[in-house]
A and B are shown apart, each in its own frame.
Chain A
């Protein structure tokens, strides 16, 4: 079972919460995965259109800059783009590598890690990482947290947007819009196990067709992703328009979001406390009677000198 009535029971992770989410009752929800077989993609952009249609997104009509890519990049209104690359392989043969670029729905989501707003980013038991615009404050931390440069902040409402893996469809047992539309079966959807098996089969097929380095892209650095690729050249993901070779949450983000902060927070409290106990033990710092005396003497001396100077 992939879809399950959404309730707080199957949100397994929330942004900016210090306590674990309820998950004893997430049983019965299998993790889902979207498989993108790049070797089958013809770059028709059906997925792009289906995504915009389903999610009621209408981006600006742009320009052509001398390539097939359009829109050129992800935007708050474009949650996925096709990236085209003309690649000449070792044998000197031309390959037109076309990669569907969208949120990878990491098992270890950097966006969720970085997000300071409680519940603005959630991860469901089925693995979908979803943005809750209602709670989003538009700080842009998710952008710094994402190893794939996916979230985009809207200039209109200042909130962050990205692919939801059609959580609304998936929770009703349907596949995401992009998956359904795909004419060539390049995009497939199912439970994580089924998709990993299928990815294996597809990779074997590619190897049988002379792509010796064909394989699956399911990066460990983010504990695997719920969107995986089958690549003809799994040994060099970067040729697919800079698919990161070993994506992981930037150490800077982990250091910033990691154990340091609770410690620092404690330290702040501690500092105040120290002050208090220092006061209790050492007591206040005051000037004493001797200072008053000294001052009086000074002034009398002054006065005396004054008188002596008089004839």
Chain B
């Protein structure tokens, strides 16, 4: 620092005076050199504790949203960072976790049900009701046609092998449990999840 201090002292001598006088002469006020600190973007955010759902470390994350969940307000998630309380992650995140915001807000997020008709070259928006109804119809037709109550040896098997399902290993236990309950209720056996691969 010494270097600059001495220089500054030099300036003090003539410079200051000259500067001010020249400015006065020109009739301009000097620009104030105010700090450039950006507004603290977390002020007033709604903070929600969550978990990253990429890998199996299960890091704690804090999700920051604008809005207070008031009935007339649609909250807007604008920042995600690590939860310092979490015993494993202690606030840190990997590049995927640190980028969660862009996953939540990705342009590739789907917004409404769509169908691609046989042989068609495009998506077509449909209502949830139509989607559920059509899918249920497909499934029932196949189940009724191909459900096996007894195998060739005459064993009671009661299984449905011609419609299968892959479950999501990023979904919650509650989703998984609900999915499993339904799948077996239908007699489905061609049923797997990412744990298989």
Chain A CB within 8 A of B123 CB: no
Q: Complex Cα distance A266/B30, Å?
A: 20
Judging by beta carbons under 8 Å apart, are A20 and B12 in contact?
yes
Q: Kindly report which residue of chain B lies nearest to residue A20, judged by CB atoms.
A: B8
Judging by beta carbons under 8 Å apart, are A182 and B92 in contact?
yes
Q: Kindly report which residue of chain A lies nearest to residue B6, judged by CB atoms.
A: A259
Known: A18-B11, A183-B92, A262-B11. A11 touches B82 (CB 8 A): no
A153-194 to B contact mask, C-beta < 8 Å, 1/0: 000000000001001110110000100111101000000000
A255-268 to B contact mask, C-beta < 8 Å, 1/0: 00011001001100
Inter-chain contacts of B4 with A (CB < 8 A): 13, 108
8 Å CB interface, A272-311 against B: none
Choose from A14, A133, A168 the contact partner of B33 (Cβ within 8 Å): A14
Inter-chain contacts of B18 with A (CB < 8 A): 262, 265-266
Judging by beta carbons under 8 Å apart, are B15 and A262 in contact?
yes
Inter-chain contacts of A53 with B (CB < 8 A): 79-81, 98-99, 101-102
B92-107 to A contact mask, C-beta < 8 Å, 1/0: 1111011101100000
8 Å CB interface, A211-263 against B: 223, 258-259, 262
> Which stretch from A44-52, A97-105, A198-206 is at the chain B interface?
A44-52
Q: Kindly report which residue of chain A lies nearest to residue B102, judged by CB atoms.
A: A53
Q: Which of A172, A177, A181 has the most CB of B within 10 A?
A: A181
Q: Kindly report which residue of chain B lies nearest to residue A265, judged by CB atoms.
A: B18
Inter-chain contacts of A17 with B (CB < 8 A): 33
Judging by beta carbons under 8 Å apart, are B34 and A172 in contact?
no
Judging by beta carbons under 8 Å apart, are B36 and A46 in contact?
no
Judging by beta carbons under 8 Å apart, are B3 and A262 in contact?
no
> Which stretch from A86-94, A116-124, A139-147 is at the chain B interface?
A116-124
Chain A CB within 8 A of B185 CB: no
Inter-chain contacts of A207 with B (CB < 8 A): none
Choose from A122, A131, A183, A262 the contact partner of B10 (Cβ within 8 Å): A262
Judging by beta carbons under 8 Å apart, are B3 and A108 in contact?
yes
Judging by beta carbons under 8 Å apart, are B19 and A18 in contact?
yes
Inter-chain contacts of B36 with A (CB < 8 A): 122, 130-135, 164, 167
Q: Complex Cα distance A311/B39, Å?
A: 103
Q: Which of A20, A21, A118 has the most CB of B within 10 A?
A: A20
Chain B CB within 8 A of A7 CB: yes
Judging by beta carbons under 8 Å apart, are A48 and B101 in contact?
no
Known: A108-B3, A180-B82, A181-B93. A8 touches B14 (CB 8 A): no
Inter-chain contacts of A259 with B (CB < 8 A): 7, 10
Chain B CB within 8 A of A65 CB: no
Q: Complex Cα distance A135/B3, Å?
A: 25
Choose from A8, A19, A131, A223 the contact partner of B34 (Cβ within 8 Å): A8
**Would you mind naming 16 contact pairs between A and B with Cβ atoms under 8 Å apart?**
A20-B8, A21-B33, A46-B98, A49-B95, A50-B98, A53-B80, A53-B81, A54-B41, A108-B3, A118-B30, A119-B32, A119-B34, A132-B34, A164-B38, A167-B38, A168-B41
Leading 3 A-B pairs by shortest Cβ distance? A119-B33, A132-B36, A49-B98
